[in-house]
Structure 1
Amino acid sequence: MIITAQKTVAEVVADNIKTAHVFKKYGIDFCCGGGITIQKACSNHNIDYDIVRNELMAIDQKNKKEFDYNNWELGFLIDHIIHVHHTYVEESIGILLAYTEKVANVHGHHYPELIKIKELFLEVANELTTHMKKEELILFPFIKKLIKADQTQTPYASPHFGTVKNPVQMMEYEHENAGTIFKTIAKLTNNYTPPEEACNTFKALYAELDDFEQDLHLHIHLENNIVHPKAVALEKKVQNCL
């Protein structure tokens, strides 16, 4: 995707609907007011054009890299999950809440499923927000204590939850619930396929929901299939050695 200062906002969104959330993030109208150039839109909003351009260019690079997550150091992988996936969820929730509200209000009378999608996303957004805080404040810090205990061969304070298996089981239950909600959203959106007559905001909503679910799948995979089993094994190892 080629981005130039003289390309209009509407042209960029037409080329790749997933760029819409970048414009939404900066308050730039990509729907009815998308006929102006990107540079002019940035100037109108007192935004650095280069910053917006770089974010638009990054859309094409998203999810192209593949990593050998299983061979990463456990502490590094945890930091990656927080800085990449938790940050993505936090930033995307605000955008998607605005999209679901607007599209449901404008098009909900013709497409009643949009009302349900709005309700379901609000539910999963609230659950994920609480879920990630529990990971950041309880589970992940304890796993890092286990890592330190293993590296230094020193004892660690027993957690109030007994064993790491308990928060792990709770996190995996919540992962399953979030996944179930998104299965319903995917079904309601016909696998994120907007109607032919859909406006750009309608299309952007479905594209962003699709991205969100894809990121959620990887996010859950990293935790359920790599972090959690390694944490359980590490706890057992440390207990046996101390």
Structure 2
Amino acid sequence: MKKKEIYSLVAVLVAVAAFVAFAYGLKVKTSTAQKDASQIYALIRDRVATVAEQAKDTLKQLGDEEHTLSAKNDDCAIPLAAYLNEKKEVFDVFLRVKPNGELDCTPKSAVSGVSFSERIYYKKVIEQKDFVIGEFLVGKVSGLPVLAVAQPFFEEDGALKYILVAGLKTKWLEAILAENNKFDETLIVEIQDASGTLLSYFATGHLANPGEGRRVEIARHKLFPGASDAEVVIFQKT
């Protein structure tokens, strides 16, 4: 075999070996990323379950507070403001919503002209007549990303009286995502709500810009199966 042919054969073998090594490395990297993605999802899912249960208890307690449900308009803001001040590390806002979905009052004051009738949590409360986990969204009142939860309260005859809504701050979610440095650094974790809005990391308070950079979706799971329409979507940078 001539030297030239030998060199060509060696070059081919080197290229094949490099490709095999690259493919193997990519497989290992993808496998690790998928494993990390599963762990991140489990952390988020379990934490959501915990904070939702705590929020349910808080809303029921708030409903038992004097004047919370009986006060009219502006007076309603007083107990809501006091409770929010007490729980400000966890909650971003409390709202009292009328049966028709119109906002009745907030911790700041009575509000008119704001309707939540299209919100997922409102529709679920009307349908289920029980505590519901809504969606991750940017609040109409606060303007900040929150996890919305809602608890209905009824008259003695069974008619819906009011819905108390809480916006859960997302510090706990930020903490989980901040731990991402323990995992594959190429992962991007986002929450996708029912309307398709991607809320990236919840660290900046701004909506993500879908499509920025090159990335591949490697995991998609229901945030809290059976109780929320939001999904955890995990991408890998490419």
TM-score range, shorter chain: under 0.3
Higher relative contact order (CA 8 A, sep 6+): 1
Please report the TM-score for the alignment, with normalisation by the length of structure 2. Answer: 0.27
Larger Cα-atom Rg? 2
Decide which structure has greater helix share. Answer: 1
Structure with the bigger percentage of strand: 2
